[in-house]
Amino acid sequence: MNIRAQVSMVFHLDKCIGCHTCSIACKNIWTDRKGTEYMWWNNVETKPGTGYPTRWEDQKKYKGGFEKKNGKLSLKLQGRTGALGNIFYNPNLPSMDDYYEPWTYDYGHLFDAPEGDDQPTARAISLVTGKVMDTIESGPNWDDDLGGSPVYAENDINLDELSEEEREQLSEVERMTFFYLPRICNHCANPGCVAACPAGALYKRGEDGIVLLSQEKCRAWRMCISGCPYKKTYFNWSTGKSEKCILCYPRIESGQPPACFHSCVGRIRYLGVLLYDADQIEKAASAEDADLVEAQRAMIQDPFDPAVIAAAKANGIPDNMITSAQKSPVYKFVKEWKIALPLHAEFRTLPMLFYVPPMMPVLAKSKDGIYEVDQSGSDGLAPLLSALDKARVPIKFMARLFSAGNTAIIEEVYRKLITVRIHRRSAEVKDVSQAELEKAYVSGKTNPEEADAIFRLTALPTYEERFVVPDMSRELAVEATVLPLANKQETGFGFRKKPERRF
């Protein structure tokens, strides 16, 4: 066993209200600089939708992530050496049209305009050319709340496997629904960005698994941008270096959660340490599509298991990391309760950000109760199961997003989530019979204690329960304070040089 510690994340999608506060918190701290105008290290997309950059999930176009070739795992793009042949021309990059042309407004004109017949206006000015933009044709969240859905939502790649009828139903006004998908770098256990960089500029920090990008080593080849299937590395056109989310490591090192977590209005975000077996990375990333989620779950180890603790200590993982892992909300959601899933596991980068899928689109119109969907159902709970077949967003769509197409896995998650609601309804509204309740526990593979714990951590968690940030040891804290300043570069922030252990 080769135990590593990873600061990991859960986003509970039922709680996201699509306010974009997280994106703005990040923008204000990290990408409010020249060359970063178009970057959103944290962005929030509407699903169905094409996202940012547009159709980022289309790996036929971008060739991000890994694939299995002759039983072996290899980058879809090319290996580090193969990349050398393409360093002056990389055909798999998103263009400015795929992101958007960033702009500001000529606010000064509102004050300085000469007297005239009309009110002065603030015209859009391109942040790339400095010229007036007559039309703004796209933005980082252009298809927000299904805006322009015939053009955008229609082209969501996850809809490809739906039948014509299912697609048509989705766009019927009465059935129309959507949910929000906030995205940051997943700080993957098998990062495509790291594997793709010929300069070795990207690395996974040994102590907490945060994936960083050395501004000194970056040679502007931009292979990381293609190699990341989530399009979470970006090129700074002013400095000529790539950049990415650093999970606010200076905040983490001082015991605070990242800014997007701290500022999240819906309190959808959870942060905690996972201990995982790095020897299982290759096996987990090479599993068949249907087995990917289970293989990743198997890689994550029980932080209370004495053998795991001994292996962690043998690898130099400090006690405070192990204690953090034992209190981790992420461990509960992902491994204990099995209700948080990685986004697009089929990209095979083993993302360490997990999502609790949203319930709202699953439950259709309800008259008498949350699980009333099918009027033909004779007893109360038959509709609970049929709810999944009648989901407004088809289960196949959710499976494509969160379980590499394995519908059994996502159905299991939904059964448990629905059972938690029935459990709470029985406690609050008191209109669920004991027989119905028992049936729900069996269907959701859960019990009253677990249902209570899931409800508690979902709906009523304290700040300390949501964010279990590991204490940094004193030496690391000092290093963390000094090095970023010592390495300070033109961009206004630096990256720590050490440790650069890669695995």
Consecutive H or E run containing 187:
none
Exposed, middle or buried, 83 (CB in 10 Å: 0-12/13-18/19+)?
buried
Nearest residue (CB) to ligand SF4, 17 versus 482: 17
CB of 267 to ligand SF4, least distance (A): 7
What's the rounded Cα separation, in Å, for the pair 1 and 424?
40
Identify residues 144-183 at the interface with ligand SF4 (CB under 6 A): 180, 182
CB of 24 to ligand SF4, least distance (A): 9
Nearest residue (CB) to ligand SF4, 225 versus 417: 225
Select the residue interacting with ligand SF4 from 84, 265, 442, 482 (CB under 6 A): 265
Nearest residue (CB) to ligand SF4, 261 versus 371: 261
206 binds ligand SF4 (CB under 6 A): no
212 binds ligand SF4 (CB under 6 A): no
Radius of gyration of the chain (CA): 24
Nearest residue (CB) to ligand SF4, 27 versus 415: 27
Identify residues 237-256 at the interface with ligand SF4 (CB under 6 A): 244
**Tokens 């650069």 identify what position?**
500
Select the residue interacting with ligand SF4 from 50, 54, 226, 349 (CB under 6 A): 349
Work out the number of other CB atoms within 10 angstroms of the CB of residue 226: 29
Cβ pair 315, 3 in contact under 8 A: yes
What is the per-residue binding string for ligand SF4 in 30-49, x denoting contact by CB under 6 A? --------------x-----
CB of 306 to ligand SF4, least distance (A): 31
Where do the H-state alpha helices sit in 171-328?
192-196, 223-227, 249-253, 259-263, 281-286, 292-299, 306-314, 319-326
Select the residue interacting with ligand SF4 from 5, 22, 373, 385 (CB under 6 A): 22
CA atoms within 13 A on the CB side of 497: 9
**Number of amino acids touching ligand SF4 (CB under 6 A):** 28
What's the rounded Cα separation, in Å, for the pair 330 and 245?
20
225 binds ligand SF4 (CB under 6 A): no
CB contact burial 65-75 (16+ within 10 A = b; e otherwise): bbbeeeeebeb
Residues that bind ligand SF4 (CB under 6 A): 16-22, 44, 180, 182, 185-188, 191-193, 211, 228, 230, 232-233, 244, 264-266, 268, 349
